[in-house]
Amino acid sequence: GNSVTQMEGPVTLSEEAFLTINCTYTATGYPSLFWYVQYPGEGLQLLLKATKADDKGSNKGFEATYRKETTSFHLEKGSVQVSDSAVYFCALTGGGNKLTFGTGTQLKVEL
Amino acid sequence: DVKVTQSSRYLVKRTGEKVFLECVQDMDHENMFWYRQDPGLGLRLIYFSYDVKMKEKGDIPEGYSVSREKKERFSLILESASTNQTSMYLCASSCSGCSNTGELFFGEGSRLTVL
């Protein structure tokens, strides 16, 4: 079956630091890949997505590239802000509308 | 603005009680989902529905049931609450056959504590 593996957190960074959160997946066929973000006290919201190999999703300064050869979809941001503190979830759908989520990575950004 | 509304943000119930968690979406979405979120386990799918009066088991349906009598409403039912059902419950909806397939819209969550 489908599965998503994320790096464990929490990840603590200073403001303006470079961020990478690793995500690898196992799936049959050609899944679409997603990053969702959950800010404190809120539900999840879509951050970015990629639907085919070599696609790059981007939003709010975050980027992730769909790498089929390494089955990865790592999230990156060049310069994080305190307001980026949240829990980040990698997810995939292999068709239909069901998503499989990773365990989430908490990011804390300090001044 | 699109919205998924969960009726209760915080609930405290006793073991053995019947618990209803309500979710309403105003986007005319066909698909609705219930997840539970636990530290270190991420989101796990309990039940989902692709249409009115239709339901499918997710990965962890034991101890839960659902009801979808109207398109906009999807209820999660704990027939006899147990302490291991203490968790954050997240409702989500999505559109079928849309260009943004796979994008789920989430409610803010219902934190249930079973004593």
Q: What is the DSSP string of B65-106?
A: EEEEEETTEEEEEESS--GGG-EEEEEEEE-TT-TTTT--EE
Are B102 and A101 inside 8 Å of each other by CB? no
Q: Is the pLDDT of residue A95 over 80?
A: no
For chain B, 115 residues long, give each residue's pLDDT as a single digit of tens: 669 999 889 999 999 999 999 999 999 999 999 999 998 888 999 999 999 989 999 999 999 999 999 999 999 999 999 999 999 999 999 988 776 667 889 999 999 999 9
- Rounded mean pLDDT of A31-44? 92
Widest CA span in chain B? 44
- Which positions in chain A have a beta carbon within 8 angstroms of at least one beta carbon in chain B? 32, 34, 36, 41-46, 49, 51, 89, 93, 97-99, 101-104
Q: Between these two residues, A28 and A49, which has the higher pLDDT value?
A: A49
Are B106 and A98 inside 8 Å of each other by CB? no
pLDDT at position A2: 87
- Partner-chain residue, chosen from B48, B50, B102, that has the shortest CB–CB distance to A93: B102
pLDDT at position B110: 96
Q: Which chain B residues touch A32 with a CB distance below 8 Å?
A: 101-102
Closest chain A CA to residue B9 = A41
Sign of CA dihedral B104, A97, B37, A106: negative
